[in-house]
């Protein structure tokens, strides 16, 4: 007993993490990703045309919370879902704390409960948005009118008073950057900074969801091929060979053009459905390698079910390369989506960075080109940076 | 070696078949209809008679009236036809417009297969004027046969003869026309004519078992497409009826003019850069290089292209050096060869920069890793120990093996070289393959899209084979046994 206490239990992932931490630039990158996620979630506090609180002649209104689920104000489902997550975020943090510290389940169990809760929040918020029948009420006009009438009015707005679809027709659009619009407006008079902020949501969702879709397909097919071998492997390998030859980007373009009412979700599904081959090959290789190892043989000998061996024994050991390719995958999915929007084949109503850049190109206005361009560049390079750092951290040859 | 290549090429055939099957299914099952303006005219309100007819001809010309993969229309039941007729007749006026048009299209598509059912329904529906008018109208339209290969340039005598007979019969059928509000008596008269005609041609609509099998597999869109594909015929464009292959070949020169120099420049820059930073690993140069390359690698090309256009083109606000787009000046005809070359170079500088930087960023990283793998190996140390100069060691000994990975990459670049870049060509208005792809997508030109997809798939297949062969060529340790 005395002997054992001397050695601290070190898991594979804690080794990887300690290696990762040594790379300062990558740590900054990880911090940037977290910041971007927070910015995406809390965008309504940064910019929205709804006051948090306002009072007219002593009666106080709190329109903010309800308006978050107003489909007429947020025309994108992505925004409704993010708003739901924003409202639920204190509970999410509390849940995480309870799971981690109080119940101390295993990490995978925690993760399943956590993701389940997130999905529940998303479903609830979309249900809530279906049931609200609010118009696009103009609070700013109302407050200004009340002020003009000489009533006693006070209001607390988010940092900026714009919503991403609201058009400002006071100047000649596109307006150049000014104190009123920090990054100017686009051709129809919508505030560019606000659209950029909400664009983070689109990009993040595209990256995460599209990659999740193709990870799922790739992992399942690759695991089946690698674990069972034989005829299953043969057929799945043939399928991979066939799909690899597809001109991916052109196929996505074509299908996107064929869908009449494109939403961001269509784009995610398209990207997910055509780009799973890399992951499938990776997972297949890993499974082929792990399949012959002693621990798998032991698990088979113990009579553990196949599904359990595949998903709880082998998969965690194959997770490293999968994680690396997922990180790079997010970067390339974001890039693909912005290219699509740039060509006008993305979701035309969504405030996508690629779409803003396209407007900038057509209008020949520098602020409309640089802002979204650097945003895409920043996000893509941050994800690439972190992906490379994880890969290096996992490489035993580079271990310090 | 040769048996290996032959084996690989034979494997390509089933792979290619599967690729074409999947892409064909995806395109045909995707929502929406081909034919651009023609189809949208038919989709909206009930189109006028003539445009309706031209859309029908268009559909038959491109086999769009046939089922996608399997044809079971030889066993069309009366109920199916009657349901469509009911919807199309819309006696109650309650059927939504969309449904009416759908039924109308379905009736058109059934074509000859619906004749026996139509005749039986005609017999049954005595006394119902409005419904019968629709049945007669559909019969008139479906009983006429299309001439064989009507759009081919040359026809042999036999087909000409058959087409002549079809023509005569169609003319006869046209005399069966019956106006929409004809009286019951007139309708009955026309119906009798139809019964007589059907009695004469009844054999045509009775299919033997093998005929049914034949129809099941061959009278479909996919079979017809493949039947011409076997002869390397990708069909004709839906838009201007010109052969797909010819259109692609005519665009090829523009894309090649861009991509070949881009790849050459990318290699010229990246190989020395990668080698140098590998030799001086962890030096200041290596680190700066790594950061710059990393940033270039993450820079989206459409952003760079837009910025370059803004700063350096005549349409922008700053240095008005380069043209805003295009491949040549409009006055190209009056130029000498030398001026033409200069003009083209002037036009492609900006797009070339955009196409080069992305590939050289990734190539240099490959070159660096490739060099790092060999620079510490024993034989390089031996070469140094022999007293060879550092230059000879690096260039003659290390580089030969270190460059293997990036040479094999050349094969996988093949689709990019020939296919061009959709985005770059779109932004700079270069009329190459990428531009062609985009316009065919916007026009819903199915044959064109299929052609481009399949040609890129073939290029990928060849590219993979090529890089495997290159690998064996430069690395004698690899053998095909």
pLDDT at residue number A4: 55
Residue of A nearest to B463 (CA): A245
- The residue ranking higher by pLDDT, B16 or B322, is B16
Residue of A nearest to B294 (CA): A381
Specify the DSSP element, H or E, that contains A59: strand A59-61
pLDDT at residue number B34: 61
pLDDT at residue number A37: 92
Task: Say which residues have a Cβ less than 8 Å from residue B5's Cβ, sequence separation at least 6.
Answer: B465, B469
Specify the DSSP element, H or E, that contains B308: helix B301-312
Q: What is the pTM of this model?
A: 0.85
Q: How many CB atoms lie within 10 A of CB B405?
A: 17
pLDDT at residue number B41: 42
A positions 258-277 inside 8 Å of B (CB): 258-260
d(CA B131, CA B89) in angstroms, rounded, equals: 6
pLDDT at residue number B43: 42
Residues of A in contact with B306 (CB under 8 A): 357, 360-361, 369, 373
- Per-residue pLDDT band for A36 (boundaries 50, 70, 90) equals very high
Are the CB atoms for A112 and A95 separated by under 8 Å?
no
Q: Is the pLDDT of residue A329 over 90?
A: yes
- The residue ranking higher by pLDDT, B71 or B377, is B377
Compute the average pLDDT of residues B352-379: 86
Q: What domains can you pick out in chain A, each with its CATH number?
A: 49-156 (no CATH), 192-398 (1.10.3720.10)
d(CA A125, CA A146) in angstroms, rounded, equals: 32
Instruction: Quick: pLDDT tens for A339-396.
Output: 999 988 888 888 889 998 998 888 888 888 898 999 999 999 999 999 988 988 888 7
Across the interface, whether the CB atoms of B19 and A245 are under 8 A apart is answered yes
* Mean per-residue pLDDT over chain A, rounded: 85
Q: Cα-Cα-Cα-Cα dihedral of A27, A30, A36, A42, to 10°? A: -90
Residue carrying the six token digits 């104190």: A179
Q: Cα-Cα-Cα-Cα dihedral of A363, A364, A370, A376, to 10°? A: 60
Compute the average pLDDT of residues B349-355: 89
Residues of A in contact with B18 (CB under 8 A): 238, 242
- Flag whether the ipTM exceeds 0.90: no
Across the interface, whether the CB atoms of A369 and B303 are under 8 A apart is answered yes
Mutate to test the interface with A, among B28, B300, B465 (most CBs of A within 10 A): B300
- Per-residue pLDDT band for B37 (boundaries 50, 70, 90) equals very low
pLDDT at residue number A381: 92
Task: Tell whether B442 lies on the interface with A, counting CB pairs under 8 A.
Answer: yes
d(CA B322, CA B312) in angstroms, rounded, equals: 6
Task: Tell whether B289 lies on the interface with A, counting CB pairs under 8 A.
Answer: no
Highest-pLDDT range among A149-158, A389-398, B450-459: B450-459
Q: Where are the alpha helices (DSSP H) in B313-421?
A: 337-375, 378-385, 390-392, 399-402, 404-419
User: For chain B, how big is the Rg over CA atoms in Å?
Assistant: 32
- Per-residue pLDDT band for A3 (boundaries 50, 70, 90) equals low
* Mean per-residue pLDDT over chain B, rounded: 80
pLDDT at residue number A154: 80
Task: Tell whether B317 lies on the interface with A, counting CB pairs under 8 A.
Answer: yes
- Per-residue pLDDT band for B159 (boundaries 50, 70, 90) equals confident
Task: Tell whether B18 lies on the interface with A, counting CB pairs under 8 A.
Answer: yes
**Rounded to a whole number, what is the distance in Å from the CA of B437 to chain A's nearest CA?**
8
- Per-residue pLDDT band for B442 (boundaries 50, 70, 90) equals confident
pLDDT at residue number A399: 66
Q: Is the pLDDT of residue A10 over 90?
A: no
pLDDT at residue number B39: 46
Instruction: Quick: pLDDT tens for A87-131.
Output: 888 888 888 888 877 776 677 777 888 888 888 888 888 888 877
**Rounded to a whole number, what is the distance in Å from the CA of A65 to chain B's nearest CA?**
37
Across the interface, whether the CB atoms of A257 and B309 are under 8 A apart is answered no
Q: Is the pLDDT of residue B49 over 70?
A: no
- Per-residue pLDDT band for A284 (boundaries 50, 70, 90) equals very high
- Residue-wise burial string across A257-271, b where 16 or more C-beta atoms lie within 10 A, e elsewhere: bbbeebbbbebbbbb
pLDDT at residue number A210: 93
Instruction: Quick: pLDDT tens for A253-274.
Output: 888 888 878 888 889 999 999 8
Across the interface, whether the CB atoms of B300 and A335 are under 8 A apart is answered yes
pLDDT at residue number B36: 46
Task: Tell whether B93 lies on the interface with A, counting CB pairs under 8 A.
Answer: no
Task: Tell whether A254 lies on the interface with B, counting CB pairs under 8 A.
Answer: yes
pLDDT at residue number B151: 63
Closest C-alpha among A294, A286, A355, A363 to residue A321 = A286
Q: Is the pLDDT of residue A161 over 60?
A: yes
Mutate to test the interface with B, among A23, A245, A263 (most CBs of B within 10 A): A245
Cα dihedral sign, B319-B321-B327-B330: positive
Strand order across the beta sheet in which A153-156 lies: A59-61, A53-56, A153-156
**Rounded to a whole number, what is the distance in Å from the CA of B184 to chain A's nearest CA?**
45
* Among candidates B307, B419, B444 on the partner chain, residue whose Cβ is nearest the Cβ of A373: B307
Residue of B nearest to A248 (CA): B453
Task: Tell whether A234 lies on the interface with B, counting CB pairs under 8 A.
Answer: no
Compute the average pLDDT of residues B86-97: 73
d(CA A185, CA A49) in angstroms, rounded, equals: 15
Q: Which of A259-268, A388-397, B176-185, B346-355 has the lowest mean pLDDT?
A: B176-185
- The residue ranking higher by pLDDT, A100 or B431, is B431
């Amino acid at each position: 007993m005395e002997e054992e206490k001397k050695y601290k239990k070190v898991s594979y992932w804690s080794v990887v993490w300690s290696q990762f931490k040594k790379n300062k630039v990558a740590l900054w990158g990880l911090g940037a990703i977290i910041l971007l996620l927070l910015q995406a979630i809390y965008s309504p506090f940064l910019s929205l045309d709804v006051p948090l609180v306002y009072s007219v002649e002593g009666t106080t209104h709190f329109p903010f919370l309800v308006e978050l689920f107003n489909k007429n104000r947020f025309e994108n489902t992505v925004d409704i879902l993010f708003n739901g997550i924003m409202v639920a975020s204190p509970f999410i943090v509390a849940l995480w704390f309870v799971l981690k510290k109080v119940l101390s389940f295993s990490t995978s169990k925690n993760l399943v409960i956590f993701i389940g809760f997130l999905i529940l929040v998303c479903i609830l918020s979309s249900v809530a948005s279906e049931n609200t029948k609010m118009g696009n009420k103009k609070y700013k006009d109302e407050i200004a009118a009340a002020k003009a009438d000489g009533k006693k009015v006070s209001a607390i707005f988010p940092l900026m008073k714009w919503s991403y679809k609201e058009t400002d027709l006071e100047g000649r659009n596109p307006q150049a950057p000014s104190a009123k619009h920090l990054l100017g407006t686009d051709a129809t008079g919508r505030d560019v900074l606000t659209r950029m902020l909400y664009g983070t949501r689109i990009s993040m969702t595209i990256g995460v969801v599209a990659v999740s879709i193709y990870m799922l397909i790739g992992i399942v097919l690759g695991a089946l091929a690698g674990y069972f071998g034989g005829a299953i492997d043969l057929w799945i390998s043939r399928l991979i060979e066939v799909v690899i030859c597809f001109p991916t980007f052109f196929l996505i373009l074509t299908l996107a053009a064929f869908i009449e009412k494109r939403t961001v979700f269509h784009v995610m599904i398209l990207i997910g459905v055509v780009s799973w081959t890399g992951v499938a090959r990776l997972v297949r290789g890993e499974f082929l390698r792990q399949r012959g190892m002693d621990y798998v043989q032991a698990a088979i000998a113990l009579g553990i079910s196949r599904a359990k061996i595949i998903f709880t024994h082998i998969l965690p050991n194959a997770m490293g390369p999968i994680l690396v390719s997922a990180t790079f995958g997010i970067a390339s999915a974001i890039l693909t989506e912005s290219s699509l929007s740039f060509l006008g084949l993305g979701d035309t109503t969504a405030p996508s960075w690629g779409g803003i850049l396209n407007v900038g190109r057509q209008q020949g206005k520098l602020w409309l080109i640089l802002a979204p361009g650097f945003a895409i560049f920043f996000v893509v390079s941050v994800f690439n940076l972190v992906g490379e750092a994880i890969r290096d951290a996992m490489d035993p040859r580079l271990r310090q | 070696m040769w048996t290996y290549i032959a084996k690989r090429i034979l494997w390509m055939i089933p792979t290619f078949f599967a690729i074409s099957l999947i892409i064909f299914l995806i395109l045909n099952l995707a929502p929406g209809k081909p034919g651009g303006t023609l189809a949208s005219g038919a989709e909206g309100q009930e189109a006028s008679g003539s445009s309706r007819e031209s859309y029908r001809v268009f559909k038959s010309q491109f086999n769009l009236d046939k089922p996608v993969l399997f044809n079971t229309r030889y066993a069309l039941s009366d109920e199916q036809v009657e349901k469509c007729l009911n919807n199309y007749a819309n006696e109650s006026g309650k059927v939504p417009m969309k449904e009416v048009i759908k039924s109308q299209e379905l009736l058109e598509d059934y074509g000859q297969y619906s004749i026996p059912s139509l005749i039986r329904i005609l017999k049954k529906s005595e006394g119902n004027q409005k419904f019968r008018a629709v049945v007669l109208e559909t019969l008139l339209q479906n009983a006429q046969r299309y001439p064989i290969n009507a759009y081919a340039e040359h026809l042999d005598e036999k087909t000409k003869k058959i087409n002549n007979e079809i023509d005569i019969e169609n003319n006869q059928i046209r005399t069966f026309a019956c106006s929409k509000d004809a009286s019951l008596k007139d309708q009955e008269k026309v119906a009798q004519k139809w019964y007589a005609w059907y009695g004469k041609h009844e054999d045509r609509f009775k299919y033997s078992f093998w005929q049914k099998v034949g129809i099941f597999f061959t009278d479909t869109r996919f079979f017809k497409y493949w039947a011409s594909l076997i002869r390397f015929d990708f069909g004709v464009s839906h838009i201007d009826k010109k052969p797909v292959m010819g259109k692609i070949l005519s665009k090829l020169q523009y894309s090649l003019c861009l991509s070949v120099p881009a790849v050459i420049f990318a290699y010229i820059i990246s190989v020395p850069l990668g080698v140098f930073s590998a030799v001086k690993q962890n030096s200041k140069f290596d680190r700066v290089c790594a950061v710059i390359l990393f940033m270039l690698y993450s820079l989206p090309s459409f952003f760079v292209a837009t910025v370059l256009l803004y700063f350096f083109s005549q349409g922008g606000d700053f240095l008005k050096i380069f043209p805003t787009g295009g491949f040549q000046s409009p006055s190209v005809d009056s130029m000498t060869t030398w001026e033409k070359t200069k003009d083209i170079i002037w036009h492609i500088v900006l797009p070339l920069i955009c196409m080069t930087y992305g590939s050289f960023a990734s190539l240099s990283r490959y070159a660096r890793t490739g060099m790092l793998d060999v620079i510490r190996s024993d034989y390089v140390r031996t070469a140094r120990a022999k007293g060879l100069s550092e230059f000879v060691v690096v260039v003659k000994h290390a580089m030969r093996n270190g460059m293997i990975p990036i040479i094999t990459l050349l094969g996988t670049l093949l689709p990019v070289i020939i296919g061009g870049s959709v985005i770059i060509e779109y932004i700079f208005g270069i009329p190459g393959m990428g531009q062609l792809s985009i316009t065919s997508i916007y026009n819903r030109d199915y044959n064109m899209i299929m052609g481009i997809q399949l040609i890129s798939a073939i290029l990928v297949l060849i590219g993979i084979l090529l890089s495997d062969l290159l690998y064996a060529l430069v690395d004698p340790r690899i053998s095909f046994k």
